[in-house]
């Protein structure tokens, strides 16, 4: 059995379900910045994340992206599950934030396992709950936080997801993720540095307050 599967999910799932996942799942690896799921794709399988982190994005009619939330090891994407069960096109883009290892599960098994395994039912319901909480947090961040606070939260969230307080991210990437200009990002990063919340380096940003 896949060692990462046992490590991440043995405490969640029955032995029989783990065996089914191991036998039916297709292991995949993606390099950082690789698009894993594209907007308007038909979803044929659901991912279980074994290692790394995935960024979930929405895109508007102008092609501008907005970060909704991150997936970490042990997670799945509730939106992907909805598309699997509803046979609809993807409403999100999933991009590898770091190098990623996952298992793709056949969509035909999603509803079968919901009735067959209580642990799977609990896992899916908890996944939905967590994603809804994260979506509400994203909405609150956009609606109620000043851009400076949004930027600092974005940096802290990214650091926690990749488990590293040194971020290899450009001002351009940040501006795209936050729907603002690179000039604004550069100005606010300098302000955060003056407040000793971050340290700016030539090709990286160190988050000092997590």
Model pLDDT for residues 42-76, shown as the tens digit of each residue: 888 888 999 999 998 888 777 778 888 889 988 88
Do 97 and 201 reside in the same domain of the chain? no
Q: Are 83 and 91 in contact (CB under 8 A)?
A: yes
Report pLDDT digits (tens) over 162-204.
889 999 999 998 998 888 888 999 999 999 999 999 999 988 9
Residues 27 and 80 in one domain: yes
Question: What is the arithmetic mean of pLDDT over 124-142?
Answer: 86
Same domain (yes/no): 90, 192? no
Residue 82 has pLDDT above 90, yes or no: no
In three-state secondary structure terms, 36 is strand
Shared domain for 44 and 83, answered yes or no, is yes
Report long-range pairs for 187-195 (Cβ below 8 Å, ≥24 apart): 188/147, 188/148, 188/151, 189/151, 191/148, 192/148, 192/151, 192/152, 192/155
Contact 54, 100 (CB under 8 A): yes
Domain boundary among the residues 97, 116, 143 is at 143
Q: How far apart are CA 187 and CA 115, in angstroms?
A: 53
Higher-confidence residue of 144 and 125: namely: 125
* Residues 76 and 131 grouped into a single domain: yes
Given pLDDT bands bounded at 50, 70 and 90, which one contains residue 87?
A: low
3-state secondary structure of 82: helix
Give the chain's domain count: 2
Both 45 and 133 in one domain: the answer is yes
186: domain CATH number?
1.10.10.10
Rounded CA separation 97/93 (Å): 12
Q: What confidence score (pLDDT) does residue 177 get? A: 87
Q: Are residues 161 and 172 in the same domain?
A: yes
Can you tell me the distance from the alpha carbon of 33 to that of 46, in angstroms, rounded to the nearest whole number?
Answer: 19
Phi, psi of 71 (to 5 degrees): -110, 140
**Same domain membership, residue 80 and residue 68:** yes
| Among 129, 126, 179, residue whose Cα is nearest residue 154 | 179
Task: Verify that 107 and 160 share a domain, yes or no.
Answer: no
Looking up residue 82, the CATH number of its domain turns out to be 2.60.120.10
If pLDDT is split at 50, 70 and 90, which confidence band does 84 have?
low
The β-bridge partners of 207 are: 198
The residue range of the domain holding 134 is: 3-143
pLDDT exceeds cutoff 90 at 103: yes
Does residue 188 share a domain with residue 133?
Answer: no
Q: Give the whole-angstrom CA distance, residue 14 versus residue 60.
A: 41
Last residue of a domain, one of 116, 143, 170: 143
What is the distance between the alpha carbons of residues 107 and 51, in angstroms, rounded to a whole number?
21
**Is the distance from CB of 78 to CB of 31 less than 8 angstroms?**
no
Banded model confidence at residue 86, pLDDT cuts 50, 70, 90: low
Specify whether 62 is located in the same domain as 158. no
Shared domain for 46 and 26, answered yes or no, is yes
Which of 143, 166, 185 marks a domain boundary? 143
């Amino acid at each position: 059995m896949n060692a990462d599967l046992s490590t991440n999910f043995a405490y969640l799932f029955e032995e029989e379900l783990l065996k089914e996942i191991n036998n039916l799942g297709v292991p995949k690896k993606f390099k950082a910045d690789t698009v894993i799921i594209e907007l308007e794709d038909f979803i044929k399988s659901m991912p279980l994340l074994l290692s790394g982190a995935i960024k979930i994005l929405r895109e508007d009619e102008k092609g501008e992206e907005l970060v909704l939330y991150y997936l970490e090891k042990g997670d799945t994407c509730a939106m992907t599950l909805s598309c699997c069960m509803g046979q609809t096109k993807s409403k999100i883009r999933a991009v590898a934030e770091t190098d990623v290892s996952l298992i793709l599960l056949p969509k035909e098994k999603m509803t079968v396992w919901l009735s067959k395994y209580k642990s799977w039912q609990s896992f899916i319901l908890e996944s939905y709950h967590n994603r809804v909480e994260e979506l509400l947090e994203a909405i609150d961040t956009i609606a109620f936080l000043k851009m400076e606070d949004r930027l600092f939260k974005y940096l802290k969230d990214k650091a926690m997801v990749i488990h590293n307080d040194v971020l290899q991210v450009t001002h351009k990437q940040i501006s795209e993720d936050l729907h603002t200009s690179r000039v604004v990002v550069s100005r606010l990063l300098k302000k955060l540095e003056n407040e000793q919340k971050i340290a700016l380096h030539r090709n990286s940003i160190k988050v000092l307050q997590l």
